[in-house]
Amino acid sequence: MSKLRKTLETTALWIAILALVLTVMTPGLKGGFFFDDNQNIVENSAVHLQTLSLAALRDSLAGSSAGPLGRPLSVLSFALTHYFFGLDPFAFKAVNLAIHLLNGLLVAWFVALLLDALPENRLSAKSRAWLPLWVAAIWLVHPINFMAVMLAVQRMTLLSGMFMLLALISHLQAVSSPDRHAKYWAWLCAGWLLSWPLSVLSKETGLLFPLYILAVTLLTRPASPARKEWQRRELWVVSAALFSLLVIAAAMLTYLGGSWLETAYAMRPFTLTERLLTEARVLWFYAAQIVLPDYAAFGLYLDDFTLSTGLLQPLLTLFAVAGWVAVFAGIWLFRQCQPLLCFAALWFLVGHALESTFLPLEIAHEYRNYLPSVGLIAGAGYAALMALQKLRMDHRSQTTGLLAIAAVLIVALFTWLRAEQMRDPLLSSQIEATRHPQSARANHAAALALIKAGYGDAGDPMGELNIRFYLQQSGAADPSFKLGYQSLIFWACASARPVERQWVDEFARRLEHTPYAPKDHELPGLLYEHLLNLPKCLNRQDALGLFMAGASNTRISNSLRARFFEAAADYELLVSLDHRSAQNYLTRSFTLTPHDPKLKKKLESFDFLDSKNPGNVK
C-alpha cells in the first residue's frame, strides 16, 4: 500500500469516526443543565462573565471552587463559554463534545506510541497500525463516556484528560528519542512542566500523572540484554515519579491538615473501610461496563450500590477483593510476556487511584472512567486480535474489519439511545428511576421532573400518586436522604394538600441524626426559602423544629450548624415577625462562627435597632 493511499484511508476513517460521534451524541446536546451543573454553573455567579477583562476573569477565579485547588482552567473555560453564549446548555455541551473529539485523536496517538514502546509485541504491522484507530473509535462512542460529555460541569474531567494525554504523549516522545539533545528536552518539558500542571489545574485527577508514568515505564521495560541500557536511560523517570508522589502527598497533607480525612468521613453514611470494600465491587462493575456494556445498567445516578460492611457482607465483596489481588499478581507475573494486557489492567487501576479509593467521595459515577477506560478498551482490542490470530483468521482482513466495525456500531447504538433519552428531561428522569429503583437520587429527580412539568396539581390524582411514590421511595432507598421528605412537605403545601405528620417527624429525625451529603449543605437556605414563600405550610413550632434539628446535628461542621440558626433567625424576623427571637437565634449562630463578618454585621444591625427603640420586643 502506497503511503498516499494509506494516508487517504486513515483520513477517511477519521472523518467517518468523527461523523459517527456527532451523529450519536448530538441529540443529547439538546437537553438542559442537570445534576451538578446547577450548583457549579447555573447558580454560580462567579462564572457568569459579562466583560472580557482581566479584573472580571480574576473575579471568576475568586468565586466558589469545585476542588481543593480551585480548578482554575475549568472555571475560566466556563466563564468564557458564558461570555460568548450565555447560560445556553447546548453551547456548554457542544464545547465539551469538541474537547472529547480532540481527546479521541490524542488517544489514538498515545496508543500508537505505547505499542511502539512495548518490548513484546505479537501483533502484525497491519494490526499495530489500525489498533490505535479502533481503540479511539470505541472510546469516543462508548456509552460509559457519555455523561462526561453531557454533564457540562464535567468539562473538568475532559480538560484534565486532554492535558494528561498530552503529558504522557510528550513523555513517550521524549524517551523514544535516540539521544538527549534539544528534541528530547523539548518533549520532556512539554510533558512534565507544561501539560502536567495544566491537567492538575483542570481537575485534581491530574495528580495521577506520576503513577501513569510508573505504569508505562514498568510495562515498557525490555527484557535482557537491553535492560541495562533501559535502566541507564530511564532510572531517572522512576526516581522523578516517586519523588513527585511524595511531594504531592506531603503538600496535600499540609494543605488539608492531619484530621481532614476523619472529618470528611464523619459527614458520609459510610466509613473508610466500607468505602474501600465497596469500591472493590464497583471497579468490577466499571470494568464489565467497559468491556461488555449492559445498556440497562448505565445511569446518571449510581447511588444504589449496597455498601460492603465486611468481606462477607455481601459475599461478593470477598470475591471482588480476591479478584483484584489476583489481577495485581498477574500484572507482575506476566508484565514481560503480555505487556499490553498488563497495561490495560494497570492503567485502569491507576486511573481510579484517587476517585475510587480512600477519598470520601460518592461511591460511583460513570465519568470517573473517562481516562481509565482507554486501558481496558485497548486490552480488549488486543485480546480480540490475538484470538483471531490463534484461529488463523487474522489474515482475513474483511472478517477482522467487519468485526471491528460491528463492535464500534454496537457501542455507538447504546450511546445514541442514551442521547435520545437525554433529549427529553422528563422522559430521561422516569427511565433513570425505572432502571435504578433503589437510587434515592434517581427517584427524587423523577418526582421533581414531574412537578416541573406541571403534574401533581390539586386536580391531578395520577400525578399525585406518581410523585408521592417517587419521593417516598427516595427516602426508603437511603435512610440518610433528606431531600425526599423536604420535597414531599413543600410539594404538598404548594398543591394545597395536607402535610402528613410522619413526613415532618422523619425529616426532623434525619436532619438531626444522619450524615449530610454535599447537596444537604443547601438545606438551611432551601428550608428558609420554602417557608418564606409558603408561610402557612408549617406552623411556627414545626418550622423552628426543623431548623433546630439541623442545628443539633453534632456530626456536621459548626459553620453548617450556624447556618441553620441563621436561617431560623431570618424565619423569625420575616415570617414570625419576632425581632427578639430572631436576635436570639442569630446570637447562637454567631457563637458557633464568631469570625463570620456577615453574621457580625447582622447582629450589629439588631443592636442599632434596639438602641433606637429600647421598648421593641417584637
CATH of the domain at 495: 1.25.40
Query: What is the Cα–Cα distance from 208 to 252, expressed in whole angstroms?
Result: 13
Query: What is the Cα–Cα distance from 568 to 146, expressed in whole angstroms?
Result: 42
Same domain, yes or no, for 195 and 266? yes
Query: What is the Cα–Cα distance from 458 to 423, expressed in whole angstroms?
Result: 29
pLDDT band at 486 (very low <50, low <70, confident <90, very high): very high
Choose between 96 and 337: higher pLDDT.
96
Least confident of 177-181, 253-257, 519-523, 531-535: 177-181
Q: Which of 381, 399, 421 is the last residue of a domain?
A: 421
Return the C-alpha cell found at 480. Answer: 440518610
Query: What is the Cα–Cα distance from 225 to 547, expressed in whole angstroms?
Result: 72
Q: Is there a cis peptide before residue 225, judged by omega within 30 degrees of 0? A: yes
Same domain, yes or no, for 118 and 8? yes
The answer to whether residue 231 scores a pLDDT higher than 70 is no
Query: What is the Cα–Cα distance from 271 to 360, expressed in whole angstroms?
Result: 9
Choose between 490 and 609: higher pLDDT.
490
Query: What is the Cα–Cα distance from 603 to 569, expressed in whole angstroms?
Result: 11
- Side-chain half-sphere exposure of 167, counting CA atoms within 13 A: 24
Query: What is the Cα–Cα distance from 429 to 523, expressed in whole angstroms?
Result: 22
Q: Give residue 461's pLDDT.
A: 87
Q: In terms of C-beta distances under 8 Å and separation of at least 24 residues, what long-range contacts does 42-50 make, across chains too?
A: 42/87, 44/78, 46/75, 46/79, 47/75, 47/78, 47/79, 47/82, 48/79, 48/82, 48/87, 49/79, 49/80, 49/82, 49/83, 50/83
- Side-chain half-sphere exposure of 587, counting CA atoms within 13 A: 8
Same domain, yes or no, for 403 and 315? yes
Query: Is position 618 within any domain?
Result: no
Same domain, yes or no, for 367 and 497? no
496 in helix, strand or coil?
coil
- Side-chain half-sphere exposure of 602, counting CA atoms within 13 A: 22
Q: Is there a cis peptide before residue 27, judged by omega within 30 degrees of 0? A: no
Q: Give residue 390's pLDDT.
A: 79
What is the extent of the structural domain holding 160? 3-33+87-421
Q: Give residue 264's pLDDT.
A: 82
Same domain, yes or no, for 396 and 537? no
The answer to whether residue 434 scores a pLDDT higher than 70 is yes
Q: Which of 421, 437, 462 is the last residue of a domain?
A: 421
Q: Give residue 176's pLDDT.
A: 80
The answer to whether residue 519 scores a pLDDT higher than 70 is yes
Query: What is the Cα–Cα distance from 595 to 436, expressed in whole angstroms?
Result: 44
Q: What is the mean pLDDT of residues 485-510?
A: 94
Q: Give residue 602's pLDDT.
A: 81
Same domain, yes or no, for 105 and 175? yes
The answer to whether residue 285 scores a pLDDT higher than 90 is yes
Q: What is the mean pLDDT of residues 254-272?
A: 82
Q: What is the mean pLDDT of residues 303-315?
A: 93
Query: Is position 401 within any domain?
Result: yes
Q: What is the mean pLDDT of residues 93-107?
A: 97
H helix or E strand, kind and range, residue 74: helix 72-85
Reference 367, options 137, 143, 204; nearest CA is 143
Least confident of 155-159, 166-170, 219-223, 563-567: 219-223
Across the chain, mean pLDDT equals 89
Query: Is position 207 within any domain?
Result: yes
Q: Give residue 236's pLDDT.
A: 76
How much of the chain, in percent, has pLDDT values that exceed 70? 93
Q: Which of 178-192, 383-397, 547-561 has the highest mean pLDDT?
A: 547-561
In the chain, the number of structural domains is: 2
The answer to whether residue 316 scores a pLDDT higher than 90 is yes
In Å, how far are 130, 196, 582, 615 from 169, measured between CA atoms? 18, 11, 60, 75
Query: What is the Cα–Cα distance from 34 to 517, expressed in whole angstroms?
Result: 18
30 in helix, strand or coil?
helix
Q: In terms of C-beta distances under 8 Å and separation of at least 24 residues, what long-range contacts does 422-426 make, across chains too?
A: 422/27, 422/28, 422/31, 422/150, 423/27, 423/28, 423/30, 423/31, 424/31, 425/31, 425/32, 425/34, 425/449, 426/450, 426/452, 426/453
Query: What is the Cα–Cα distance from 301 to 431, expressed in whole angstroms?
Result: 11
Q: Give residue 235's pLDDT.
A: 75
What backbone phi and psi angles, to 5 degrees, belong to 310? -170, 175
Same domain, yes or no, for 485 and 405? no
The interaxial angle of helices 227-256 and 209-219, nearest 10 deg, is: 160
What backbone phi and psi angles, to 5 degrees, belong to 52? -90, 80
The DSSP secondary structure of 260-304, one letter per residue, reads: HHHHHHTTSSS-HHHHHHHHHHHHHHHHHHHHS--GGG--S--TT
Same domain, yes or no, for 377 and 525? no
Q: Give residue 138's pLDDT.
A: 98
Query: Is position 296 within any domain?
Result: yes
Query: Is position 66 within any domain?
Result: no
Same domain, yes or no, for 374 and 518? no
- Can you name the residues that pair with 313 across neighbouring β-strands? 310
Same domain, yes or no, for 159 and 244? yes
Q: What is the mean pLDDT of residues 139-145?
A: 97
CB atoms within 10 A of CB 529: 14
Q: Give residue 491's pLDDT.
A: 94
Q: What is the DSSP letter of 191?
A: I
Residue range 30-60, pLDDT digits in tens:
888 888 888 889 988 888 988 888 888 887 7
Q: Which of 421, 453, 469 is the last residue of a domain?
A: 421
Q: What is the residue type of 149? A: V
Number of H helices, E strands in the chain: 28, 0
Same domain, yes or no, for 416 and 485? no
Query: What is the Cα–Cα distance from 367 to 344, expressed in whole angstroms?
Result: 18
Q: What is the mean pLDDT of residues 536-564?
A: 93
Tell how far CA 66 is from the center of its chain: 11
Query: Is position 264 within any domain?
Result: yes
The answer to whether residue 511 scores a pLDDT higher than 70 is yes
Query: Is position 72 within any domain?
Result: no
Q: Give residue 293's pLDDT.
A: 95
Tell how far CA 212 is from the center of its chain: 20
Query: Is position 67 within any domain?
Result: no
Same domain, yes or no, for 506 and 397? no
Query: What is the Cα–Cα distance from 366 to 144, expressed in whole angstroms?
Result: 6
Query: What is the Cα–Cα distance from 367 to 364, expressed in whole angstroms?
Result: 9
Query: What is the Cα–Cα distance from 541 to 574, expressed in whole angstroms?
Result: 15
